[in-house]
Structure 1
């Protein structure tokens, strides 16, 4: 089964008819969580992340989107209750939600809003090799590079399914330049190159995105999903 990546840009305001349908399509737990958020943007991201996941998994499994239920492993990684082999992972930050799904092996995805940050945090969370690579970048590119490394690393630990029980500094993800100049990101853990494959690209000037797959080819670019297309499937 082919691996797909979908991204959805979250609007600042969702029309009430749309929002009502989206809320009715997620779990009771998700609706309760959404009602507790202080900021509406957080509720939008949480609910739309589940809606996007349900719609995609419904297409992959043949289940109705309301029939789908989720479970989590001991590290918090979600899985489909009805089919533990169905692979997917979702992330959201800022204005974007990203979903990776398909295949039969581990998948991970991460989106981060690029915000001002003290780059010294890299010394705590990055490997020595990654810190050397980061320090070698031009000053005006270092924040961009920090978020690229961070999302790549997050996508990997989410694919492995161990969460932050795996220290971020325990492995290194660094670029190997390919023939056409596009970097081939590779992960080194315990002195070995792991087999996972990576995709990394900004979604816009303020958001960085990365995906990870154990096996199979990742798409060359994500599919953009619109709010209208999600609504049309649900009504």
Structure 2
């Protein structure tokens, strides 16, 4: 992976177009560390169509509203960086299991957020991404979602190992798009990939300060351009 650059959302047109291909993904991220003032909120919200605005303002906490807003704006930014034109969100929808999707845009995407971080992955293949803030937790509460071997390794190595395994499983769930109907315990962590029903998902690990992120793809040796979008 390579952290290539930062770009301002206001200057998307000045950025050289990004090419995504089999084995070459794009990951955009942003940090949401303060509440927007009313003028800023209205400005960014109006980049989206009314039906998405209504979905966003339903959230009670400002952090949830803004994380959801900036997740959509990362889709906007990624599309602009790939095609050098604005996206039409009118074909945006969610699957029966709640996975965001858009038809006929030439790529797959997936969004995740945790704490102050929002990430969005773009790929020509199916893609899943999950990010988690690294905090002190009681890992015993999660033993049912790991195999016995996975849980032994988590307990013996501690540190990032829980988040490495957890985000890998969650990323596969999101890539497949079956939501909570897919048991995490049936997703197996292997050395170089994650498997579910004999299908391999190759993982890319990313660490942002105190956040652990995993991006998965059916393509081996996937590499991503990782770019921060500043709002």
Give structure 2 stretches of 5+ with no counterpart: 1-20
Q: TM (normalized to structure 1)?
A: 0.79
Q: Could you tell me which residue of structure 2 aligns to residue 134 of structure 1?
A: 154
Q: Cα offset for 1:61?
A: 5.2
1:57 aligns with 2:61: no
Q: Could you tell me which residue of structure 1 aligns to residue 174 of structure 2?
A: 158
Q: Distance in 2 between matches of 1:164 and 1:55?
A: 29
CA contact (8 A) 1:71 1:80 kept: yes
Q: Cα offset for 1:213?
A: 0.9
Equivalent residue pairs, number: 209
Deviation track 1:57-77 (CA, whole Å, cap 9, x = no partner) reads 244456633455312222222
Q: Cα offset for 1:201?
A: 2.5
Q: Could you tell me which residue of structure 2 aligns to residue 86 of structure 1?
A: 107
Structure with more relative contact order (C-alpha pairs < 8 Å, separation 6 or more) = 2
Q: Distance in 2 between matches of 1:88 and 1:19?
A: 24
List 4+ stretches of structure 1 deviating above 6 A.
none
In terms of mean alpha carbon deviation, does 41-50 or 13-22 score higher? 13-22
Give structure 1 stretches of 5+ with no counterpart: 177-184, 228-235
Deviation track 1:115-161 (CA, whole Å, cap 9, x = no partner) reads 332211221211222112112215xx2xx321221111111111122
CA contact (8 A) 2:48 2:89 kept: no
Q: Could you tell me which residue of structure 1 aligns to residue 31 of structure 2?
A: 9
Q: Cα offset for 1:15?
A: 4.5
RMSD value over aligned CA atoms?
2.3
Q: Could you tell me which residue of structure 2 aligns to residue 45 of structure 1?
A: 67
Q: Cα offset for 1:165?
A: 1.4
